[in-house]
Amino acid sequence: MIDLSKLDSKLVWENFKQICAIPHPSKHEGKITAFLMQWAKEHNVEARQDAIGNIIMRKPATPGMENRKMAILQGHIDMVPQKNSDKKHDFLTDPIEMRVCEDGWVRANGTTLGADDGIGVAAAMSVMQSDNLVHGPLEALITVDEETGMTGASNLKAGELEGDIFLNMDSETEGELYVGCAGGLDATIEVPYKLTATPAGMKGYHIEFTGFKGGHSGMDIDLGRANTNKLMNRLLYKATAECGMRLTDINGGSLRNAIPREAFATVAVPADKAAAFEALVAHFTATVKNEFAATEPEGSIVAKAVEAPAQVMELACQKNIINTVYAMPNGVLRMSDSMKGLVETSSNLAIVKSENGIVTIMCLLRSSVDSAKEAVGERMTAVAEMAGAKISLTGAYPGWKPNMESPILKTMMATYKKLFGKEPEIKAIHAGLECGLLGGVYPNWDMISFGPTIMHPHSPDEKVNIESVDRFWKFLVETLANIPVK
């Protein structure tokens, strides 16, 4: 097993362990920001918070480097709170159980790890803390609430920072430099329903979709993974038509930016159709296993017999809800024409939840083309209007247009080749990086995004590769030593 204390990046790991020990899910960053402010005080690092809660740190240049451009190190401190259904964990009070595994990866125990973007923040802390690095003047920007709306980035005011070069440390493949990202848009659809007494002679079932991979709704959207909300709805559609099924409640997905891993529903079926319903579920399970054999080997679909619910949705409402979810776009909608292998436009049908007479459907739309993103929003609006549903499109944020003539890009390409003997890959990402929002406020910034290798972010399978963190740290240190002069 790798001893993290023996690595060049040992300080990064020490700081990351401290981050893991303090709860910091999105919108609940108070404990971790208080820790960071105290940490800065203890290490004689200049630090302050802006009105929204972002932390800004500053460090002077090392002797002889005062003439270099000021670089800004940036990461977000919040993490996506996802756990396996059998894991007891309270993200508001419990620390993340970080585990160093024999296969060279660091994981959590049944929850997300928070390497996205705790490693980036830990790297910024380590640079600010170190007294043996060579660098020009530095700033660090640690933002809040990136994962659920980029609130920290969208509320950063002009004039808060003085730097020229912006190094975002929130990418997830070591050896790749990102020069562009997708913009995003939140869609929330509310479909009303009424409940009525369950007809006599019905048998109850609780349908459970569990064990699916889920993942990051941008990074993983093209991997062919199942969306459990879509699969659940497909089963409900068939069961309504073939078995006279009646729906009582539905609950799938938990975060807008995570592909849904689980979905649950309570239904009632006429007793004389129970055998046909159970056969339908078995056949549907086999169909899903076949369709997703390569990507979802652990996916499970079961229908457990339960007491018949006292109420079910009125049939017209039920059909309207099922048809609406079926019609909503999901997954990759278009690939990029300008960059091979890049998803241009997508939609993640993230949450379907019935409560108090409303089924709420939450989606996250992404595109590197603003007009395409708007068109998907219009398409969803059309579906909602046909269903007599209410829709709101909110939280729009812009993409980040690549600049292939970027001076810091050229510097980092040369630095990477010098260190590792090969060229880094230059890419754009189908995910929302804060670069797009921040670049609108600070248009003079020369921006790059990079990071270590993190797999399966936004899911309990999240893991970060130890060797890649070491390479990322070495690359960051050497980059700072080669920042161009003013």
User: Is 486 a member of any domain?
Assistant: no
Give domain status of residue 31, yes or no. Answer: yes
Among residues 29, 146, 147, 461, the one annotated as catalytic is 146
> Is this model's pTM higher than 0.85 or not?
no
| Same domain as 164, residue 225 | no
With a CB cutoff of 8 Å and minimum separation 6, the contacts of 35 are 18, 22
β-pairing verdict for 263-270 and 390-397:
unpaired
CA 228 to chain centre: 17
Whether residues 108 and 214 share a domain: the answer is no
Give the per-residue pLDDT at 440.
Answer: 87
d(CA 114, CA 146) in angstroms, rounded, equals 12
pLDDT digits (tens, 9 = 90+) for 88-145: 999 999 999 999 999 999 999 999 999 999 999 999 999 999 999 999 999 999 999 9
145 and 25 in a common domain: yes
Q: What is the CATH number of the domain that holds 297?
A: 3.30.70.360
**What is the rounded CA–CA span in Å between residue 152 and residue 115?**
19
Give me the percent of the chain exceeding a pLDDT of 90.
92
Q: Do 254 and 377 belong to one domain? A: yes
pLDDT of residue 59: 98
**Structural domain of 289:** 185-397
Please, are residues 398 and 366 in contact by the beta-carbon 8 Å criterion? no
User: Are 411 and 348 found together in one domain?
Assistant: no
Burial 267-294 (b: 16+ CB within 10 A, else e): bbbbeebbeebbebbeebbeebeeebee
Q: Which of the 8 DSSP states describes residue 62?
A: P
The verdict on residue 56 lying in a domain is yes
Burial 40-55 (b: 16+ CB within 10 A, else e): beeeebebeebeebbb
DSSP conformation class of 99 = E
Cis peptide before 117 (omega within 30 of 0): yes
Domain end (from 397, 422, 445)? 397
pLDDT digits (tens, 9 = 90+) for 209-238: 999 999 999 989 999 999 999 999 999 999
Share above pLDDT 70 across residues of the chain, in percent, rounded to a whole number:
100
The mean per-residue pLDDT over the stretch 56-67 comes to 98
Residues 335 and 453 in one domain: no
Q: Are 463 and 391 contained in the same domain?
A: no
Q: How confident is the model at residue 85 (pLDDT cuts 50, 70, 90)?
A: confident
Q: In the annotation, is 172 catalytic?
A: no
User: What local confidence, expressed as pLDDT, does residue 111 receive?
Assistant: 97
- Spatial distance between the Cα atoms of 5 and 158, rounded to a whole number of angstroms: 40
What pLDDT digit, counting tens, does each position of 373-392 carry? 999 999 999 999 999 999 99
374 assigned to some structural domain: yes
pLDDT attached to residue 240: 98
pLDDT of residue 420: 98
**What's the structural domain count of the chain?**
2
Whether residue 311 sits in one domain with residue 238: yes
How high is the pLDDT of residue 474? 98
Say what the pLDDT of residue 398 is: 86
Give the pLDDT band of residue 70 (cuts 50, 70, 90): very high
Q: Which of 16, 263, 258 is nearest to 117 (CA)?
A: 16
User: Is the separation of the CB atoms in 257 and 216 below 8 Å?
Assistant: yes
Q: pLDDT digits over 24-56, tens only? A: 999 999 999 999 999 999 999 999 999 999 999
Of 365, 397, 429, the last residue of a domain is: 397
- Classified as helix, coil or strand, 415 is helix
pLDDT of residue 35: 98
CB 234 within 8 A of CB 228: no
Summarize the confidence of residues 191-197 as an average pLDDT: 98
Whether residue 402 has pLDDT greater than 90: no
Please state, in angstroms and rounded to a whole number, the distance separating the CA atoms of residues 249 and 318: 10
In a domain, 353, yes or no: yes
DSSP 52: T
* CATH code for the domain in which residue 22 is found: 3.40.630.10
* 83, 125: one domain: yes
In this structure, what DSSP letter does residue 198 have?
P
How does strand 463-465 pair with strand 105-107?
A: antiparallel
Biggest CA-to-CA distance, the chain: 85
DSSP class of residue 323 equals H
Residues 177 and 271 in one domain: no
459 phi, psi to nearest 5 deg: -140, 160
Catalytic residue among 29, 78, 172, 446: 78
Whether residue 154 is found in the same domain as residue 193: no
The first and second tokens of residue 402, run together, are 């690549």
Pairing type for strands 425-429 and 176-181 reads parallel
Which residue, of 381, 397, 413, is where some domain finishes? 397
78 is catalytic: yes
Residues 173, 214, 79, 427: what is their CA dihedral angle, to the nearest 10 degrees?
Answer: 30
Residue 399 sits at φ, ψ, to 5 deg, of: -80, 180
User: 445 and 425 share a domain?
Assistant: yes
318-360 pLDDT, tens digit per residue, is 999 999 999 999 999 999 987 888 999 999 999 999 999 999 9
Report if residue 201 sits inside a domain.
yes
Strand 165-168 to 71-76 pairing: parallel
User: Does a structural domain hold residue 89?
Assistant: yes
